[in-house]
Amino acid sequence: MRRIACMGVAAGAYLAAGLMAVAEGEAPAGTWQVVYKGAFTDKVPKEWSTLNGEATVADGALVLKAAEDSDAQIMLTTPKTPDSVKVEFDCVLTGAKPSDISTFLNGAGEGPDSAYLLQFGGQANTQNRLRKEGAIVESTATDKPKIEVGKKYHVVAQNDGGKVSLTLDGKEIFNYTDSSPLKGAGHGVVGFYTYACTLKITDLVVSKKDAPAK
């Protein structure tokens, strides 16, 4: 499994399984529409795929745990969100060496290296930045803020028609407008990444936005 942190860097049955899928309505194109809400009450449902590390459900949270000197990755395989997508959640990170409260968007099913990876506290809590299919977007890199172990954060990671941004507790950390954005049927997966830590995720909401008809 690729060590991203060290390199510069992690339907109907949903309700019964402890998650809730939100039925698609008639929301106008160009507006955000909620398609998925997390309700972590029992076990990790089959719609989540653990790529590395350990995933459990505890105290209403999705818990992603990475071993020492290793990463943990998990992705939501359905519903698909192949174009504009927003992932909003609360979280707490614990660990002796904090690294990566990181979200990936528009993945191809192989984890962060096939996606946008929006890193908060990447590379051992030294940088916040965007990676596109594994490559660092240097213009987004910033060394502040840093993760505080045990602190609760509200995170919004989104790709809005090619404008990719990370917002933390209401403050935008970085944004980048991609002239050739990841999108389409082969880029419809979202997920989470952490390194050598335990990431607890609650109040997860995934939204999509359909492009206006031309």
User: In a 3-state reduction of DSSP, which class is residue 104?
Assistant: strand
Instruction: Evaluate whether residue 121 is within a structural domain.
Output: yes
What's 183's domain CATH number? 2.60.120.560
Q: What is the pLDDT of residue 30?
A: 85
| Domain assignment of residue 18, yes or no | no
Domain that holds residue 124: 4-10+47-202
Give residue 173's pLDDT: 98
pLDDT tens readout for residues 63-108: 999 999 999 999 999 999 999 999 999 999 999 999 999 999 999 9
Q: What is the pLDDT of residue 9?
A: 38
Q: Of 151, 156, 160, 157, which Cα lies nearest the Cα of 125?
A: 151
Q: How many domains does the chain have?
A: 1
With CA atoms as reference, report the closest residue to 86 among 207, 214, 212, 210.
207
Which residues in the chain show pLDDT less than 50? 1-20, 23-24
Q: Is residue 64 part of a domain?
A: yes
pLDDT of residue 17: 38
Q: What is the pTM of this model?
A: 0.88
| pLDDT at 152 (0 to 100) | 98
170: in domain: yes
